[in-house]
Amino acid sequence: MAEPVLQKNIGLWSATSIVIGSIIGSSIFMKPATMAAQLGSPWLMLLVWLVAGIISLFGAMAFAELGTMFPETGGQYVYLRYAYGDLMAYLYGWSSVAVINTAAIAAMGFVLASYAGYFIPLPKLDAATEQSIVWHIPFAGDLYPLKDIGIKALGILVTGVMTAVNYVSVKYGNLVQLLATLFKVLAIVLLIFGILFSGKGDTLHFIRNAQDFGGSFGTILIACMAATTGAFAAYDGWNNLPMVAGELKSPEKNITRSLLMGIWVCITVYMLVTLAYLYVLPVEVMRQSPLVASDATAVVLGNSGGTVIAVLIMVSCLGAMTVNLLSNARVVFAMAEAKQFFAFTGKVHPRFQTPGNAVLVLGIWSAFLIVSGSFDMLADMFIFTGWVFYGLVVTGLFILRKKMPDAERPYRVWGFPYMPLLFVLFTAVYVATTIYSDIDNYVHGKSHFINSVTGLIITALGIPLYYYFRWKNKGKQVG
């Protein structure tokens, strides 16, 4: 009997919904307030969203060329393997399991459960009990597993349900994220036009800067870089689609089409949402609003605005969790197929035809990270570490143009070499400034965390494991 294989069940619209569902999470409901504080200018806020989206698009187009060259399950893992060899690919795969993707799933589960507390009472232990168990992680801080026990329990439950859905069926998992994405986009569109056409704001807010706006060109540039870094975090997730390339229908066409459509939808949504917030909240007010989406909606809907935003964030998180489980389990699966991870994670379920064991590994580790409760730290680490590998993948595009000049490329990235080079340069600046800033803050006592360095250390911890699997499967590696 032939071994079961993954089926090509994902079409163009489902692929586009994966892109949109991966990108639009909870950031757009909170990030504009941070950007307003950093920039103090409405037009600079819109410019940052546009620039960050376009640079993300440059990266996505480089991924599209690689995805159409290698339409295999595993995405970045596969591209890094062809460009740099087994070790670099393994380090990405290891970091994706250890922190990048599982931390993203855990964070979405925790945020969803937090907002569920808006509707249902969740149990909470007293302060003494919460602090009775402490996990001290060098350079990463103290973790309290008993803190917010009710939120964590619900987050683990939701993660377990989504893990089960993706274990049983690719179609069911994809259906959940497709419906969540459609609801999310529809609700956001209604929110945008509901606010903009409410008559309860002022269009002058679109051009009126904060009173303290100004300073030298260098000061404004630094503020723009800080805001752009945050915007990049909000656009993060476009890399998920190539991970399921082996299950796409007509991947040579649909990878490029879905990435283009999905990212432009997100750029448009982010800019329109920001305009809607600005219409009812001048930048001076927005910069002081930790829950900017709720505050903006409350101007139009009153107290029920908080309910609307809570539901939107919960649906956004549900869709993001599902698409991360759907796509990132394929990285684990690809590693196991290459004899670089535990063999059981590379098995296709004989009945469900899913990478079921790989899904379970992600779900279980994500649940453990929810218990840790270290979401600020984890979020910083997975964003930073993820961008390190984004830069390496796009640099790999140049390597593969030299190494495999005659390989079939159904899509060639537009503006080569300038567009991919711009992406690589930005990534290098982002990585260098983040490491410098983290270390500087730690040395001067402004932070107890060095999240970027911790992320690199966790990645490096995969090196001994790589050589273990290499020794164990000597002569068995897949070429």
**Is the pLDDT reported for residue 477 higher than 60?**
no
Residue 163, pLDDT > 80, answer: yes
212 neighbors 283 (Cβ within 8 angstroms): no
**pLDDT of 366-394, one tens digit each?**
998 888 765 566 667 777 888 899 999 99
Mean pLDDT calculated for residue range 328-351: 86
Average pLDDT over the chain, rounded to whole? 83
Q: How far is CA 203 from CA 34, 196, 207, 280, 288, in A?
A: 21, 9, 8, 9, 20
Mean pLDDT of 273-292: 88
What's the pLDDT tens digit per position in 204-263?
999 888 887 777 777 787 788 778 877 887 888 887 776 666 667 777 778 888 888 999
CA angle at 225 for the pair 393 and 49, rounded to the nearest 5°: 80
Range with the largest mean pLDDT of 153-157, 170-174, 428-432, 456-460: 153-157
* Beta-bridge mates of residue 142: 136
Lowest pLDDT segment from 241-255, 281-295, 326-340, 414-428 = 241-255
Residue 156 confidence (pLDDT): 94
Give yes or no for residue 401 having a pLDDT over 90.
yes
Q: Taking Cα atoms as reference points, which of 216, 201, 250 lies closest to residue 10?
A: 250
Residue 341 DSSP class: S
Give the per-residue pLDDT at 300. Answer: 87
Residues 69-85: pLDDT tens digits?
A: 888 777 888 899 999 99
More confident residue, 224 or 152: 152
> How high is the pLDDT of residue 377?
67
- The arithmetic mean of pLDDT across residues 131-144, rounded, is 72
CATH superfamily of 12-472: Amino acid/polyamine transporter I (1.20.1740.10)
pLDDT at 8 over 80: no
How much is the pLDDT for 49? 94
Confidence category of residue 42, pLDDT binned at 50, 70, 90: very high
Three-state SS at 141: strand
The packing angle between helices 86-95 and 451-460, to 10°, is: 130
CB atoms under 10 Å from CB of 348, counted, come to 19
Residue 6, pLDDT above cutoff 60: no
**Which one is predicted more confidently, 337 or 222?**
337
The half-sphere exposure of 456 on its side-chain side, counting CA atoms within 13 A, is 9
DSSP three-state, residue 252: helix
Residue 7: per-residue pLDDT: 60
pLDDT above 90: residue 111: no
In this predicted structure, what is the pLDDT of residue 245? 63
Predicted confidence at residue 224, as pLDDT, reads 82
pLDDT at 1: 45
Q: What is the pLDDT of residues 420-471, one digit of tens each?
A: 999 999 889 888 877 887 787 778 776 666 778 888 888 899 999 999 998 8
- Bridge partner residues of 136 (DSSP): 142
Band of pLDDT at residue 87, cut at 50, 70 and 90: very high
Give the start-to-end residue ranges of the domains of the chain: 12-472
Q: What is the pLDDT of residue 479?
A: 47
Neighbouring residues of 351: CB distance < 8 A, sequence distance ≥ 6: none
146 has pLDDT over 90 = no
